[in-house]
């Protein structure tokens, strides 16, 4: 009896492992140059075939990249772009959620909602394709395919297909405006973004390639993220708190963000009152 029970447990474990291996994965399918991947509180180098996880930060350098969560959810990144993958599951139904700190992202989502948040804008795509830019004084969106919505500080605009909206973040009181894409936006658009997104065929060992760990994250790796206004900032305290054991990381974070509402309670926890008799 004991051996039959042990055999049954082994068979169930093997079946679970096979199911995990065959489950669809979100994969970095195109990377002409390795990306910098910040996973947890560590820095990795990632190339084609690496599985992408929730809350991964992907940062490109001189070349772009593409991430796929099945045929109905594809994300392309331009050069010098920094994005946090808040949600990009290969289940065919959950929403696509990205936080773009800098650079270019093109998102194709068919039959599932997509959202891209920048420091200045929130773009919502019920179904279709969008191109979003952040940084350099201009956060902007181009609704390539499908009706979309862009919001900024209480102002919401609906965009028809092939319509543009942007905001000059360098102005004292920036205003969200819609219209045709300006020449500067079009000329800066990554050339690959002019084509419709398509899946990359024959990715070798898709989802099974391990990223290469380089080191624990230094403050310089994440300072812009920690100081940003993106929604993920609220989760960064728990994520990077372990790095406070590094004196350099703690000292630099204290200098930059030590008085912020997020980090002050962690760096300077309030002392409990002494209720002793003496």
Q: List, as own/partner pairs, every contact residues 183-189 make where C-beta atoms lie below 8 angstroms and the sequence separation is at least 24, other chains included.
A: 184/138, 185/133, 185/138, 185/140, 185/142, 188/133, 189/104, 189/131
Question: How many CB atoms neighbour CB 202 within 10 A?
Answer: 6
> Which of 84, 75, 87 is closest to 102 using CA atoms?
84
Confidence (pTM): 0.89
Is the separation of the CB atoms in 119 and 138 below 8 Å?
no
Ordered DSSP codes for 207-270? TTBPPEEEEEPPHHHHHHHHTS-STTHHHHHHHHGGGGGSHHHHHHHHHHHTTSTTTHHHHSPP
C-alpha angle 115/121/127, rounded to 5°?
A: 25
**Distance separating alpha carbons of residues 198 and 33, to the nearest angstrom:** 19
Per-domain residue ranges for the chain? 22-194, 219-263
**Distance separating alpha carbons of residues 156 and 154, to the nearest angstrom:** 6
> Which of 98, 171, 187 is closest to 138 using CA atoms?
171
**Distance separating alpha carbons of residues 180 and 157, to the nearest angstrom:** 14
Q: Positive or negative, the Cα torsion across 268, 232, 51, 194? A: negative
In this predicted structure, what is the pLDDT of residue 170? Answer: 86
Class of domain 22-194: mainly beta
Q: Which residues contact 227 (CB under 8 A, 6 or more apart)?
A: 256, 257
Sequential pLDDT tens for the chain (278 residues):
555 554 444 444 333 333 344 457 999 999 989 999 999 999 999 999 999 999 999 999 999 999 999 999 999 999 999 999 999 999 999 999 999 999 999 999 999 999 999 999 999 999 999 999 999 999 999 999 999 999 998 899 999 999 999 999 988 888 898 999 999 999 999 999 999 999 999 999 999 999 999 999 999 999 999 999 999 999 999 999 999 999 999 999 999 999 999 999 999 998 766 665 54
**Distance separating alpha carbons of residues 195 and 15, to the nearest angstrom:** 41
Question: How many CB atoms neighbour CB 263 within 10 A?
Answer: 20
| Structure token digits, residue 109 | 């989502």
**Distance separating alpha carbons of residues 79 and 246, to the nearest angstrom:** 31
**Distance separating alpha carbons of residues 46 and 145, to the nearest angstrom:** 30
């Amino acid at each position: 009896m004991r051996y039959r029970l042990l055999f049954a447990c082994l068979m169930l474990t093997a079946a679970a492992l096979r199911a995990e291996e065959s489950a669809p994965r979100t994969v970095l399918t195109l990377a002409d140059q390795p990306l910098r991947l910040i996973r947890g509180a560590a820095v990795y180098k990632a190339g084609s075939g690496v599985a992408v996880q929730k809350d991964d930060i992907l940062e490109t350098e001189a070349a772009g990249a593409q991430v796929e969560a099945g045929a109905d959810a594809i994300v392309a990144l331009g050069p010098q772009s920094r994005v946090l993958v808040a949600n990009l599951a290969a289940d065919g139904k959950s929403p696509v959620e990205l936080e773009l700190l800098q650079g270019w992202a093109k998102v194709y989502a068919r039959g599932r909602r997509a959202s891209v948040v920048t420091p200045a804008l929130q773009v919502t795509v019920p179904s279709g394709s969008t191109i979003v830019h952040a940084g350099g004084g201009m956060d902007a969106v181009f609704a390539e395919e499908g009706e979309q919505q862009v919001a900024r500080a209480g102002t919401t605009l609906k965009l028809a297909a092939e319509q543009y909206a942007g905001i000059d973040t360098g102005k004292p009181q920036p205003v969200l405006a819609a219209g045709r894409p300006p020449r500067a936006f079009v000329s800066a658009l990554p050339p690959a973004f002019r084509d419709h997104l398509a899946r990359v065929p024959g990715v070798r060992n898709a989802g099974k390639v391990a990223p290469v760990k380089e080191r624990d994250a230094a403050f310089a790796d994440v300072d812009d993220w920690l100081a940003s206004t993106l929604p993920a900032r609220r989760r960064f305290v728990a994520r990077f708190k372990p790095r406070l054991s590094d004196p350099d990381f703690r000292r630099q974070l204290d200098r930059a963000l030590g008085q912020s509402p997020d980090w002050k309670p962690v760096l300077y926890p309030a002392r409990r009152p002494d209720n002793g008799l003496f």
